[in-house]
Chains A and B, each alone.
Chain A
Amino acid sequence: MKTKSIFQALIMVVFSLVLLVGCNGNEESSAKNGNDQESSGDYPNKPINIIVAYAAGGGTDTGARILQPFLEEELGVSVNIINKAGGGGWVGWGELANAEPDGYTLGFINTPNLMTGYLNPNIERKENLSSFVPLANQVSDFGAIAINPDDDRFSNIKELIEYAKTHELTATSTGVGSDDHYASLKLNAKYGTKFVPVHNSGAADSKAQVLGGHTDVLFANVGETFTAHQNGEIKILATMSEERSEFLPDIPTLAEAGYPDVYSWSARGLAAPSGISEEKVEILREALKKAITNPDHIKKMKDMGLAVNFQAGQAYMDLLKSDEEDVKELIDLVEW
């Protein structure tokens, strides 16, 4: 009697699961049929899903949701943002790489986290850059080095670097193989500084660590720090970009301060799964170009502290390739 009831409960669970899986399957097979029948002539003619590999509300997600209405206007179909968070982004990226290349599933890819993910020697992933067809870059957020304004050991970038050559300093990072981590590693390798990374789960944690005086140096991105800098809560000493940031016209770049060849940024843009037809790529790139370079879009992104950097085609591929090269070079420096 007892076992029978439990059995019933089990059947109920399994049945609902089968039902759900079935629904999922149908969706996929209809997508496949759609792909076989339609020509790219009337593409797109149904909603496009864009996978964001991070939870709702993060920087990538915010950027995606700001772009969404502009992209809908250009493509004439609705665009859905779907958050597939987890695995440091690889739940979403894995799904994007393996999605039907029919142009109805696109996704955001983030550097250098994407490269770290497939170059991490501890995880044997089958995906790599060639699993994706890059469409267009939306944002490039350059790295910034900041300190607590009350710190009396150093007050400019030169003093900081010189001090760090002889003293161990703790430096924030947003995880192993993040752009912030690579930035301090690059400085250590190139200029003999002794930055020791303290890995946090996000930029907000990093900021709190430096504001509270617990960690010595803040390695983060301009978009994450310039507000606190304007408020006088932290002091940005240098940016790791080739040119000065439009948000921080008074702050020198590392190269200007006498430390060239250390650049750091996090770039995010859209990609499709490999195998997508060339015509569809052209349609998408054209629409993305108009949407991303739309002045209203640029302004809204700027309000969020995000610098739009539209790159498409070969230029975007070059940007990704150079990120990949950087990560390959640094991968041996990481203590995995």
Chain B
Amino acid sequence: MNAELFSQVLGNLFTLQTILALFAGVVGGIIVGSLPGLSATMAVALLVPVTFGLEPVAGLTMLAAIYTAALYGGSISSILIHTPGTPASAATALDGYQMTKKGLGAKAIGVSTVSSMIGGFISALFLLFLAPPLAKISLWFSSPEYFLIAIFGLTIIGSLAGKSMAKGLASGVIGLLIGTVGIDILTGYPRFTFGSTTLQGGVAMVPAMIGLFSLSQVMMQREPKTKQKKLKKASISGRVLPTMKEFKRIFKTIIRSSGIGTFVGMLPGAGGDIGSWVGYNEAKRFSKNKDKFGTGIIEGVAAPESANNAVTGGALIPLLTLGIPGSSTTAVLLGGLLIQGLQPGHQLFTTHAGVTYSVIFGFLLANILMGIIGLLGAKFFVKASSISDKILGPIIVALCIVGAYAINNNFFDVWVMVFFGFIGYLMRKIGFHPAPVILGMILGPIAEKGFRQSLVLAKGDLLSYYFTRPICLILIILILLSVLTPMVTKLMKKRKEQKMNLGDEENLA
């Protein structure tokens, strides 16, 4: 980028309209994101017509700001009231809510804010400097790769399972089964719909998630045992910013997750919901204290949060260069681009470079602004966790119902939410975790579609089709490593112990 273009970009950005749009986008995005059922996709879709009247730079910057801010906002409710505002922040609830319970709510919000900001910022840098080559790489991925990515994602269940692997796997299978409901797109056959028109589109993801995480949480809180646990005052007055030592601890995690998020976002078939889980899992895999995950540690918040915000910049890469949206929100953004007369493709980076780079810089600024607003607001957000359960409970239930309804304007989804609320409650009572259910629901359809499409694409020779694709081979190795490593280490440990035991016995003899 030359100096002339740079000054043009600055001129475009620092106008009153653009700054106002940026600010409105960030604040609006955080609010929309934190409310369950109001998704980034919906917010962007409703605002695309508003951008008709704005300058292209202002309008598009606002949309991009909403996108990244909404993904961050989802973590606030996820951390404080165990109600993921977006599917992408479900993974954050695992450790985030545990931190709130320990009285570290403010710290959790702080970590999430810093991680989201860095994640978004790094992905924006990728977008700025490496968009065209990365877009080419994203095209190497097709049905067989998506199938393997989904399988790789499913290996995460092992690490989410907690104490009992069998229970974790059982929850995952329930999720996979639920994912089979709906009209099969490859044959048009309705599966497990029981004559319901709504179920033909599958079990709606957001209502099921709200039920599993939030409603079941409210029900658990009504139990005398947990009710006694009063939240410590520290949750309100606690430090927001992580200390230098803590920041050093999570820095590697944030960088790794940002890379993962950007990469997952770039793939047209995968978005923030997958990115955050993979980020969480890899943080756990590389961590020295794996057992602490799920008990409320800062790595468990930093990993999914930096990943899901990094998805935003990643998802913009194939959108701007190829016109192929990397996520459902960017599919809507495509409409926003076209309305402004901007056709995705290389002329976005040549003829319209002024506008495009202004929007990318605006997106960078949006991530920073989001961080500042988040850190300033953290103390206010955290007050939500100090409200008595008696008052908060009904409010969460009302939010659950409104959120479940709002996602498709369909009352059936409210019943889905209630149904999953009960399932979630029963699961928790008997020691099952609801997270693998969500993971199964997200990944099951991707795996199925990917595999069945590759059956057609392979033209009858499936094995050699898979084994002649380099990325497939890499993914297969990753899956094998992911599944076998814990087994091998366990076996080696056992053998070592046995040897020692044997040695003892010999000594005794």
The interface of chain A, by Cβ under 8 A from chain B, is: 1-2, 5-6, 8-9, 12-13, 16-17, 20-21, 24, 55-58, 61-62, 65-66, 68, 82-88, 90-91, 94, 116, 120, 122-123, 168, 170, 175-177, 196-202, 204-205, 207-209, 211-215, 227-228, 230-231, 233, 300, 303-305, 334-336
Q: Determine whether the beta carbon of A204 is less than 8 Å from that of B183.
A: no
Write the nearest CB–CB distance from B349 to chain A, whole angstroms: 12
Give the distance in Å from the alpha carbon of A336 to the alpha carbon of B41 in the complex.
33
Q: Is B295 an interface residue (CB 8 A)?
A: no
A304 and B409 contact, Cβ closer than 8 Å, known pairs A170-B456, A212-B141: no
Q: Determine whether the beta carbon of B397 is less than 8 Å from that of A212.
A: no
**Residue of B whose beta carbon sits closest to that of A82:** B409
Q: Determine whether the beta carbon of B324 is less than 8 Å from that of A57.
A: no
Q: Determine whether the beta carbon of A91 is less than 8 Å from that of B49.
A: no
Q: Is B473 an interface residue (CB 8 A)?
A: no
Q: Determine whether the beta carbon of B268 is less than 8 Å from that of A84.
A: no
Q: Determine whether the beta carbon of B41 is less than 8 Å from that of A227.
A: no
Q: Determine whether the beta carbon of A176 is less than 8 Å from that of B401.
A: no
The interface of chain B, by Cβ under 8 A from chain A, is: 41-42, 44-46, 48-49, 138-143, 183, 185-190, 197-202, 204, 215, 218-219, 222-224, 227, 268-269, 318, 322-325, 328, 331-332, 335, 338-339, 341, 343-347, 393-394, 397-398, 401, 405, 408-411, 414, 418, 421, 449, 453, 456-457, 459
Give the distance in Å from the alpha carbon of A199 to the alpha carbon of B456 in the complex.
10
Please indicate the chain A residues that have their CB under 8 angstroms from the CB of B138 in the complex: 208
Q: Determine whether the beta carbon of B456 is less than 8 Å from that of A20.
A: no
Write the nearest CB–CB distance from A234 to chain B, whole angstroms: 10
Q: Determine whether the beta carbon of A122 is less than 8 Å from that of B409.
A: no
Q: Determine whether the beta carbon of B322 is less than 8 Å from that of A334.
A: no
A6 and B457 contact, Cβ closer than 8 Å, known pairs A86-B201, A211-B324, A212-B141: no
Q: Which secondary structure dominates where chain B touches chain A? A: helix
A65 and B201 contact, Cβ closer than 8 Å, known pairs A57-B41, A198-B457: no
Q: Determine whether the beta carbon of B139 is less than 8 Å from that of A2.
A: no
For A82, A197, A228, the residue with the greatest tally of chain B CB atoms inside 10 Å of its CB is A228
Of the candidates B42, B183, B187, which one forms a contact with A56 in the assembled complex, judged by CB atoms under 8 Å apart?
Answer: B42
21 contacts between A and B (CB under 8 A): A17-B418, A56-B41, A57-B328, A57-B335, A85-B408, A87-B197, A87-B200, A91-B200, A122-B190, A198-B453, A198-B456, A199-B185, A199-B186, A205-B269, A209-B143, A211-B322, A212-B142, A215-B142, A215-B457, A231-B323, A303-B338
Please indicate the chain B residues that have their CB under 8 angstroms from the CB of A12 in the complex: 393-394, 397
Q: Determine whether the beta carbon of B185 is less than 8 Å from that of A175.
A: yes
**Residue of B whose beta carbon sits closest to that of A169:** B459
Please indicate the chain A residues that have their CB under 8 angstroms from the CB of B332 in the complex: 56-57
Q: Determine whether the beta carbon of A204 is less than 8 Å from that of B343.
A: no
Give the distance in Å from the alpha carbon of A94 to the alpha carbon of B198 in the complex.
10
Of the candidates A9, A168, A197, A305, which one forms a contact with B393 in the assembled complex, judged by CB atoms under 8 Å apart?
Answer: A9
A16 and B398 contact, Cβ closer than 8 Å, known pairs A56-B41, A212-B141: yes
Write the nearest CB–CB distance from A71 to chain B, whole angstroms: 13
Please give me the 10 A-B residue pairs with the lowest Cβ-Cβ distance, nearest first.
A57-B332, A56-B45, A86-B201, A176-B188, A87-B200, A212-B139, A214-B142, A231-B345, A57-B45, A5-B222
Q: Determine whether the beta carbon of A228 is less than 8 Å from that of B345.
A: yes
Of the candidates A21, A304, A334, which one forms a contact with B188 in the assembled complex, judged by CB atoms under 8 Å apart?
Answer: A334
Q: Determine whether the beta carbon of B456 is less than 8 Å from that of A86.
A: no
Q: Determine whether the beta carbon of A9 is less than 8 Å from that of B222.
A: yes
A9 and B219 contact, Cβ closer than 8 Å, known pairs A91-B408, A230-B343: yes
Q: Determine whether the beta carbon of A176 is less than 8 Å from that of B142.
A: no
Given contacts A57-B332, A208-B318, 6 further A-B contacts (CB under 8 A): A16-B398, A62-B48, A88-B201, A198-B143, A209-B142, A304-B335
Q: Determine whether the beta carbon of B323 is less than 8 Å from that of A227.
A: yes
Please indicate the chain B residues that have their CB under 8 angstroms from the CB of A1 in the complex: 224
Q: Determine whether the beta carbon of B397 is less than 8 Å from that of A123.
A: no
Give the distance in Å from the alpha carbon of A170 to the alpha carbon of B414 in the complex.
41
Q: Determine whether the beta carbon of B394 is less than 8 Å from that of A175.
A: no
Q: Determine whether the beta carbon of B457 is less than 8 Å from that of A170.
A: yes
Give the distance in Å from the alpha carbon of A20 to the alpha carbon of B405 in the complex.
10
Of the candidates A8, A83, A196, A211, which one forms a contact with B456 in the assembled complex, judged by CB atoms under 8 Å apart?
Answer: A196
Give the distance in Å from the alpha carbon of A21 to the alpha carbon of B411 in the complex.
8
Give the distance in Å from the alpha carbon of A78 to the alpha carbon of B187 in the complex.
41
Of the candidates B140, B200, B227, B405, which one forms a contact with A86 in the assembled complex, judged by CB atoms under 8 Å apart?
Answer: B200
A227 and B345 contact, Cβ closer than 8 Å, known pairs A88-B200, A212-B139: yes
Q: Determine whether the beta carbon of B335 is less than 8 Å from that of A86.
A: no
**Residue of B whose beta carbon sits closest to that of A334:** B188
Please indicate the chain A residues that have their CB under 8 angstroms from the CB of B453 in the complex: 198-200
**Residue of B whose beta carbon sits closest to that of A21:** B411
Of the candidates B44, B190, B222, B268, which one forms a contact with A57 in the assembled complex, judged by CB atoms under 8 Å apart?
Answer: B44
Give the distance in Å from the alpha carbon of A66 to the alpha carbon of B52 in the complex.
10
